[in-house]
Homo-oligomer: A and B are copies of this chain.
């Protein structure tokens, strides 16, 4: 039996009673640790709170089949930050369960895709989500631009998810066959704003105002006690320190009357 359990966004207490009961009942509990991370808890803490060893599973471990091999005979839980289907890798696990005749189930939880409603802009007025990657000298993807442009042209909001790099190996170490991991990196709202403005500066498609005057909302550590939400022009947000990861960003479309009052609670004081 294979159970994928969403952990929600904040800390160990964001698991549901249903998820907790799956954990208590499990023979082995893995924590998927490469598509996201829990803001205020780590595996040791989960282990102590759940009263059960929580094994950190990196990408290699999940994709190698170790997790599912165990699920053939045992009750295996894979804990996933946010909700279960935020990352394609979990869809793939369900498909492989089906192929291998392993019973599977899912315990849902909050993900940034719905929790971002806390920023005051209405969820049903969001268009397609876009994701930004850290650029390298040779790889500067900007294929999200047209989606942003199309959302903005329709007057709707865009949730921008920011890159997470965990257990990366540098090109140099890779070339020399050395398994040395770089420190984890989490894209900040400032880095995202800079990337968005840079792409606008050469695409010139008007997806956002090139002068940074487009209205946006930065959201950091949503669902945790240190959650921070600030609304303002992109230019204004460039100057805001959002603190520790995880960061996400919303580029607003038209802000309707029914959204105005709520999002105004997070506006920077006008100078």
Contact = CB atoms under 8 A, between A and B. Distances in A.
A85 interface: yes
Contacts of A265: 94-95, 98
Interface stretch (A5-13, A170-178, A199-207, A230-238): A5-13
Number of copies: 2
Interface string A183-212: 000000000000000000000000000000
Contacts of A95: 261-262, 265
How many of chain A's residues touch chain B, expressed as a range?
Answer: 35 or more
A223 B108 contact: yes
Interface in A1-21: 6, 8-18, 20-21
Contact of A91 (B109, B122, B154): B122
Nearest to A225: B105
B115 A83 contact: yes
Contacts of A16: 8, 13-17, 109
A211 B15 CA distance: 44
B111 A114 contact: yes
A83 B261 contact: no
A217 to B, nearest CB: 13
Interface string A90-119: 011011001000000010111101110110
A139 interface: no
Given A83-B114, A109-B110, A91 B13 contact: no
Given A13-B16, A83-B110, A129 B120 contact: no
Contacts of A156: 128
